[in-house]
Amino acid sequence: MLGSVFTKTLRDQRRSVIGWLLGIVLLIAYVVAFWPSMERSPALTQITEELPEALRAFVGGADLTTARGFFSTQLFAFMLPVLVGILAVGKGAATVAGEEERGDLDLLLAQPVPRWRVALEKAAAVLATIAAVVAVSCAVLWTGIAVIGADVTAAEVARGMVGLGLLGWLLAAVALAVGAATGHRGTAVAAGAVVGLLAYLASTFARLANGLGWLAAASPWTWAFRGDALGEGPGASGVAGLVVLTAALLAAGIWRFTERDVGV
């Protein structure tokens, strides 16, 4: 694990990632275990029908009476993106800016590895970590759904998870790029959190307001999940948008990192 900057960065993240993963798995298990009793409850259908449209949009606008809608809402409308988002922003900010503030980036940058490559390998390791967390979440959710026999296909689970992972990548890229460009961990965390929050608000509230549909359409959150995460998923355009934006942010952040003074 000490052979390259990439593997070393993976190693740096393993302990805290196991903790996050445990939390995410517990959440998924809890929600999955809840579905069979919800499915049999006629009151639920009634509640959903009485729910004001605003509130329904707030939880993702999905139909809570179907398994697909239920999991979309309970997992993908808020909880999973928040958990993965915090992980992504935290790792993105800690990886270049955090090490620079701690001081141990100095000696690493004195090794015969180009500065852009150090940043790129570290970014790749953060994205790989997020991908791994989402892949495990995907396997756990699919297994749970299979166990309780809910009416959700593997493709639908995968769609939702791809959206989740790409949104996580984007938020990690925001934090990593801002951190690489400025060297300040706090600024990087703030940037990631603000982008995540604005994307969420734009996606949920703007959809309700007349004339603000363009704002919802511009939100990466919408690109990742659209109406309901398991039903529609990001689609080709969503995937392309998220990937291109992630790559552009990382490229800009790494470029700025190679140009500036480090550790001042």
Partner 1 sequence: MTDAAVEIDRLSKRYGAVRALTDLTLRVESGEVFGFLGPNGAGKTTTIRLLLDLIRPTAGRAELLGMDSRRDAVAIRRRTGYLPSELALDPRLTAGELLDYYGHLRGGIDTAWRDGLVDRIGLDPSRRLRTLSTGNRKKAGIVQAFMHRPDLVILDEPTSGLDPLVQRAFLDLVREVAAGGACVFLSSHVLTEVEDAADRVGIIRAGELVTVDTVAALTRQAVRHLVLRFTGPVPAEAFTDLDGVSDVTVDGALVDATVTGSPDALVKAAARFELADLSPRDTELEDVFLAFYREAS
Interface with partner 1 by CB under 8 A: which range of 47-55, 59-67, 110-118, 174-182?
A: 110-118
The rounded radius of gyration (Å) of the Cα atoms in the chain is: 20
Indicate the residue type of 131. A
197 vs 260 by CB, closer to partner 1: 260
Quick check: 198 binds partner 1 (CB under 8 A)?
no
Q: Determine whether 57 is exposed, middle or buried from the number of CB atoms within 10 Å of its CB (0-12, 13-18, 19+).
A: buried
Query: Alpha-carbon distance 214 to 217, whole Å?
Result: 5
**With respect to partner 1, which residue has the nearer C-beta, 114 or 186?**
114
| Options 33, 47, 113, 209; binder of partner 1; rule CB under 8 A | 113
Q: Backbone dihedral region of 113: left (phi > 0), alpha (psi from -120 to 50 degrees) or beta?
A: beta
Rule CB under 8 A: choose which of 106, 143, 213, 244 binds partner 1.
106
**Minimal distance, residue 133 CB to partner 1, in Å:** 20
- Alpha-carbon span 222 to 170, nearest angstrom: 13
Q: How many CA atoms lie within 13 A of 42 on its CB side?
A: 0
Alpha-carbon distance 151 to 141, whole Å?
A: 13
Q: What is the dihedral of CA 247, 140, 15, 176, to 10 degrees?
A: 20
Minimum distance, C-beta of residue 7 to partner 1, in the bound complex (Å): 9
Residue among 40, 52, 211, 261 that touches partner 1 (CB under 8 A) = 261
Q: Considering only residues 23, 36, 114, 213, which one is a binding residue for partner 1 as defined by CB under 8 A? A: 114
Applying CB under 8 A, which of residues 18, 23, 33, 102 lies at the interface with partner 1? 102
Q: By rule CB under 8 A, what count of residues binds partner 1?
A: 23
Query: What count of other Cβ atoms lies within 10 Å of the Cβ of residue 232?
Result: 17
Give residues 8-27 in contact with partner 1 (rule: CB under 8 A): 8, 12
Nearer to partner 1, 107 or 236 (CB): 107
Binder of partner 1 out of 42, 50, 111, 210 (CB under 8 A)? 111
Asked if residue 256 binds partner 1 (CB under 8 A), the reply is no
Rounded to the nearest angstrom, the gap between the alpha carbon of residue 122 and the centroid of all alpha carbons in its chain is 18
Q: Looking at 104-112, 125-133, 176-184, 213-221, which segment touches partner 1 (CB under 8 A)? A: 104-112
Whole-number Cα distances in Å, 102 to 5, 48, 111, 130, 263: 17, 50, 18, 23, 9
Q: Is residue 88 a contact partner of residue 32, using CB atoms and an 8 Å limit?
A: no
- Of 43-51, 105-113, 152-160, 183-191, which part binds partner 1 (CB under 8 A)? 105-113
Q: Does residue 236 bind partner 1 (CB under 8 A)?
A: no
Cβ proximity to partner 1: between 43 and 264 the closer is 264
**Which residue ranges make up the site for partner 1 (CB under 8 A)?**
2-5, 8, 12, 102-104, 106-114, 260-264
